[in-house]
Structure 1
Amino acid sequence: MLAVNMLVKWENGGETSIERILWLDRQSDLAFVIDVEANEFPFAVTISEIEEGISEGLATVLHDDPFLRVVDEEKLSEKEQQMRDKAWELIGGIVTLEPHIFYKKERAKYIKLIAEKSGMSVKTIGNYLKKYWRNGKTKNALLPSFYKCGAKGKEKAVGSAKRGRPRQHADVVGEGINVDDDIKRIFRNAINKFYYSSAKHSLRLTYELMRKEYFSEGFKIEDGVKVPILKPAAEIPTFWQFRYWFEKERNIKKEISTRFSPKKYEHEYRPVLGSSTAEAIGPGSIFQVDATLADVYLVSRYNRNWIIGRPIVYAIVDVFSRMVVGIYVGLEGPSWNGAMMAIANAASDKVAFCKEYGIEITEEDWPVHHLPEAVLADRGELEGKNAENLVNGLHVKIMNTPPYRCDWKGIIEQYFRTVNLQYKSVVPGTVDPDGRERGDRDYRLDAKLDIYQFTQIIIKCVLYHNNQHYLKNYNREEMMIADDVECIPRELWRWGIENRSGKLRNVPEDIVKLHLMPSDKATVTPRGIRFKNLYYGSPLMLKERWTEKARMNGTWKVEICFDPRNMNYIYIKDADGINFEKCYLLDHQVRYRDKSFDEIQNLLAAEKLKQKKAADSEAQAKAELITEIQHIVQEAQKAAVAAKDDGESDAKKKRSIRANRQVEKLANREREAFELNKEPSKGLAPVVILGDNQESLGEEEGQLELLKRKQKEALQKRNG
């Protein structure tokens, strides 16, 4: 349907014209139009002629009006407003006299009358009318077209005259040159060669290198070195001309990619035109998982004087609702173990999880114990055979971002930044790289929290985020607005469950853990099942007498799974992948009970370090011991040489061993016997006179008595 101010484009034999409809009278089938591209007054046509041309394809209605200007009144200059208002003051009273103003005689009469009153020429007033009609019949149609002045965006032809502001002292330094196509080609070559490179030359240095490379008159030899002879400044473009064309043709993407790296451009400078939320249709569509190094130093639970460094925090966030669905806090660097713990936590009962850390919550506070349809992670943790169990056993799709593209997981990255700000100002031992001056106290020495307490803080931050944090930049859908859903993760999660369900899946917690826990090999030994220097036992081990078999036939390996957070148990997988044998930490390993794998490894490492530190002193003490033993042996050897009886045969010595032992034992008994309030003996031992009957004793008994007497004499001398 035709309407006033509509543009109609006519095509006739390759020639085109655009006409604006100024007035319509359907009763008389009459319309007045004006050719917007010609300097002519309106003319009359029939409405049926226009409609017939449109139906036959000779004319088309233009929906975009390039001649109708929409401007902000505040941005108009004072001169523009004055020129518009002056023209409107002249013709504003006659443009409403339709259709009389469109007839030539009537129009001429009105124009002549205005010209006589204002002193303006008839031609000027006529031009105002044509401009008003061509540009859309509005007051702003009379605005001057200053924006077209100077042919903005179009390059000017290069002539012989020097363009731009004349130089000062041109008679001395010369007028300079214009930048033509050849000069611009040199500019581009120099920028590509010297500026767009990993050398990161400044623009000034690029200009100097360009002068050396492209604006020289030859070379000279100085000290055997070929030195270019540069042209004078009057014959080359200035640095400011070079800079102007550099800015005019500057390619930001190419500049960042070549001077730094394509990754830097993609990460920090690329246009951000989409939203992560658009990829998720509901809760559980996509979980984003990532790890960060917390900005706080911790102490050991074994000895609070031991500083153990900064913990790793894993978190999983639901893309649709921004709900934090799983966390893990540990000491091991980003790895499959950390990602596994976070995913297992996402599928576990949060009420029981929080209770382990002394925090009481209800199901409504953290209503998440599900697996998602897909997990988005960095390249690394969720690549390899460990992730295959997640895909094949739990039917979870794994998506990995390109290398160094953490911006593809903007939701989880923003959460880490937010949670750091929440605890950093109130927790001791936080990292403050900008706050330390030389001589200041090292913030690491202020560490007070252990890993258990820091996990409590992270849980508190998660509960705040899920239940109270208002998402200011979350774009709600129309249905959310209609249901008046608050932009709080828990409320968005609830709304999504009710209206966009279907992606979340419940899987028994033990099955999830069985597929996620890291696998390793343990050794069956006579002392139990050994894993990482810890010993375990199980009912199956006792029933099948594994320890006895290991003692008789030697040790063997078994496949086990374990939870690094609590090393009280390990699990031996059955062949069916569903059942398992639970192994318990043995009683004599009580010092490892209720401790995490990281804490136990820290303890073992600390003990090993102490052993290494004590190795030198132990070696020194052992050397001294050996020396003292050798000295005693040497003294014994000297005494043996002095008391050697060459008349006694070796056979006789061997026969006397039993008798000698008996004598020695009797002497030791007398020496070792308890005697209370003992007084030291003085003087010589009484002399024993052997009678004639002594000779009648047997040879062996005589020797025995003689040896006893000699032993007593020696003991008395030693005590005296």
Structure 2
Amino acid sequence: MTELIDGVTSYILMPESERPTLGQFYYYAQKHLTKEEKDLIKTSAAEQRNNKRLLISDSLKDVYGPADMVEIDACEADVSLVSELDPDQAIGRPIVYFMIDIYSRIILAVSVAFDNNSILGITNLFLNLADDKQEYCKKYGIEFNDKRLWPSGIIPKRIRVDRGSEFKSYEFDRICNEIGIEKQIVSGASGSLKGVVEQAFHQMHAKQNVHLENHGLIEKRYDSLHHKEASLTIHDYTRMVINFVLAHNQQHIETYPLTKEMIEKNVAPVPAILWEYGSKKYGMPQPIPVLEQYLYSLMTPIKAKISKRGISYKDLWYFAPNDKRLMSEMYAAGTKRMPFEVRMDMRDVSAIYYIRNSKLVKIPLNVLITGNSDYKGLTMKQYEEYYSAKKKMQAKGRIDNEKIETAVYANNESIVKSAKKNVHSRTKDIRSSREIDKQKVSYEGKISTRLESEDETSKNISADDQKENSVTEYRDYASFEEALQDFYDNN
């Protein structure tokens, strides 16, 4: 029992006759609490909603054909990789992103990188969505003949995601708005609400882990040696992911809810076949209309400035010598630094881009500015390390300059004070007096003074130094013993 005393809640033990025994309390709970209420008490609202809710529908509810709704998610793979530059150095787990179509269960795009909770991971996925999958696979030494196994170049209508930071970001909202995709966020801690993509990850791990044992497999045990046993690079693991995708897209899905029409038309529950069937039934998915515009939407807007020197961003300068329109805008800006709307692919600082007359214009780094081209081929994160180091160097330089300026000021003040007089200087015969001082200063700077200083330095050289620098005189000896005795006598 609780009681409020002076604004503070106090706990008071009830009399023994009024306190229930454990058996009485258990009986009361069993009689008056529902199973749902008991599960809520034992676990949590999130876990109850995720694992114990009533399943009165399925994932295909309100989904109308291929690319009408896709699910996106990321997971850390159960494997530790090694560096491609140093195969003896472990670098940890890769991050895998999947985009999977709800209607057909076909995997439309993948990303295998090290970007976790990052907009780069999402844009990697959207870039792969636009890629020619046959050409993409060839880069990893994998080929397939039937393009229907892995569709390319389509835009989904709706995307279902969780509450990850990258999915809730302003940048992802901007990309979805520009491409024309509706974003739907599921409740937190409810992976089952996007169970299609979650199940795909479970299947991928189940098929890969049997091969990864003793090759970097991360096991749920305290003595797991995954980092020491790591042997695959990111290239190797990407090949395994592609292998899974191609197999998944042509595998029979026993749990897929076939409709009466599908059975009548003998439509096998295979993702590639379901995609083709759904495209005929509901219409072809929306293709990417203009690839350049699509890629531009995946770039990041940056706060650049334009002036007569070019376009600048974080001390990087960009200029296109053949772009007369750009040169005209630079001339108009003059010495001012005016805002200029451009975008950058954060994977490469070598160029910035903007749209003019519905065309994508590329502006490269200005190689005529010293040191500017040194950053060509770096990612923005790599460049920012140099940029940060330069800022720290400049901050230290400003402090050092203040010390130097203080010392200079103090010395100048001392010189001026020591030269102070109580009477004014004469102003008559300035020219002739100036000529006298001019010749005096000129004579004091004569070359012979420096030659004499050099002679004095030569005289002060020690006898040993003179001996070392002197020219050795050679003479003939009658025998080796005579030469050796002469050596001992002189040394």
TM-score clears 0.5 = yes
Q: Distance in 2 between matches of 1:331 and 1:562?
A: 20
Alpha-carbon spacing, 1:592–1:341, altered in 2? closer, same or farther (3 Å): same
State whether structure 2 residue 204 is matched by structure 1 residue 419. Answer: yes
Q: Distance in 2 between matches of 1:548 and 1:659?
A: 54
For 1:246, what is the secondary structure of its paired residue? helix
The residue aligned with 2:289 is 507
State whether structure 2 residue 455 is matched by structure 1 residue 713. Answer: yes
Structure 1 residue corresponding to 2:220, chosen from 428, 434, 441? 434
1:330 positional shift = 3.5
Q: Distance in 1 between matches of 2:36 and 2:152?
A: 42
Letter in structure 2 aligned against 1:713: D
Structure 2 residue corresponding to 1:328, chosen from 111, 116, 120? 111
Contact 1:347 1:370 in 2 (8 A): yes
Q: Distance in 2 between matches of 1:445 and 1:659?
A: 77
Contact 2:216 2:228 in 1 (8 A): no
Contact 1:350 1:369 in 2 (8 A): no
Instruction: Give the alignment of 1:115-154 within 5 angstroms.
Output: none
Structure 2 residue corresponding to 1:314, chosen from 80, 83, 97? 97
Letter in structure 2 aligned against 1:432: I
Structure 2 residue corresponding to 1:470, chosen from 226, 233, 252? 252
For 1:277, what is the secondary structure of its paired residue? coil
Letter in structure 2 aligned against 1:714: E
The residue aligned with 1:128 is none
Q: Distance in 1 between matches of 2:436 and 2:81?
A: 75
The residue aligned with 1:491 is 273
1:512 positional shift = 1.9
For 1:494, what is the secondary structure of its paired residue? helix
For 1:265, what is the secondary structure of its paired residue? helix
1:411 positional shift = 0.2
Instruction: Give the alignment of 1:278-427 within 5 angstroms.
Output: 278-299=61-82, 308-357=91-140, 359-362=142-145, 363-379=147-163, 381-383=166-168, 386=171, 389=174, 393-427=178-212
1:323 positional shift = 0.5
State whether structure 2 residue 359 is matched by structure 1 residue 579. Answer: yes
Letter in structure 2 aligned against 1:715: T
Contact 2:156 2:286 in 1 (8 A): yes
Alpha-carbon spacing, 1:656–1:549, altered in 2? closer, same or farther (3 Å): farther
Letter in structure 2 aligned against 1:412: V
Contact 1:561 1:573 in 2 (8 A): no
1:245 positional shift = 4.7
Q: Distance in 2 between matches of 1:531 and 1:228?
A: 71
Alpha-carbon spacing, 1:404–1:718, altered in 2? closer, same or farther (3 Å): same
Q: Distance in 1 between matches of 2:366 and 2:237?
A: 29
Structure 1 unaligned spans of 5+: 1-212, 215-224, 627-649, 664-703
The residue aligned with 2:304 is 522
The residue aligned with 2:474 is none
Structure 2 residue corresponding to 1:460, chosen from 237, 243, 253? 243
Question: Quick check: which has more Rg, 1 or 2?
Answer: 1
Letter in structure 2 aligned against 1:457: M
Alpha-carbon spacing, 1:566–1:456, altered in 2? closer, same or farther (3 Å): farther
Contact 2:296 2:343 in 1 (8 A): yes
Contact 1:289 1:316 in 2 (8 A): yes
For 2:54, what is the secondary structure of its paired residue? coil
1:364 positional shift = 3.3
Higher relative contact order (CA 8 A, sep 6+): 2
Contact 1:558 1:572 in 2 (8 A): no
User: 1:492-511 CA distances to partner (integer Å, 9 max, x unpaired)?
Assistant: 21222233325444422222
Q: Distance in 1 between matches of 2:184 and 2:288?
A: 21
Alpha-carbon spacing, 1:319–1:228, altered in 2? closer, same or farther (3 Å): closer
For 2:148, what is the secondary structure of its paired residue? helix
Letter in structure 1 aligned against 2:301: S
Letter in structure 1 aligned against 2:148: E
Alpha-carbon spacing, 1:548–1:606, altered in 2? closer, same or farther (3 Å): closer
Q: Distance in 2 between matches of 1:301 and 1:590?
A: 26
Q: Distance in 2 between matches of 1:713 and 1:552?
A: 59
Q: RMSD in angstroms over aligned alpha carbons? A: 4.4
Structure 2 unaligned spans of 5+: 3-10, 405-433, 467-491
Contact 2:154 2:285 in 1 (8 A): no
Letter in structure 2 aligned against 1:460: N
1:348 positional shift = 3.8
Alpha-carbon spacing, 1:414–1:227, altered in 2? closer, same or farther (3 Å): closer
The residue aligned with 2:487 is none
Normalized against structure 2, the TM-score is what? 0.68
Alpha-carbon spacing, 1:386–1:227, altered in 2? closer, same or farther (3 Å): closer
Alpha-carbon spacing, 1:542–1:711, altered in 2? closer, same or farther (3 Å): farther
Letter in structure 1 aligned against 2:252: Y
1:472 positional shift = 2.7
User: 1:590-635 CA distances to partner (integer Å, 9 max, x unpaired)?
Assistant: 776666x4xx5257549968999x99xx99xx9xxx9xxxxxxxxx
Work out the number of aligned pairs and report it. Answer: 414
Contact 1:337 1:518 in 2 (8 A): no
Q: Distance in 2 between matches of 1:349 and 1:542?
A: 34
Q: Distance in 2 between matches of 1:662 and 1:409?
A: 90
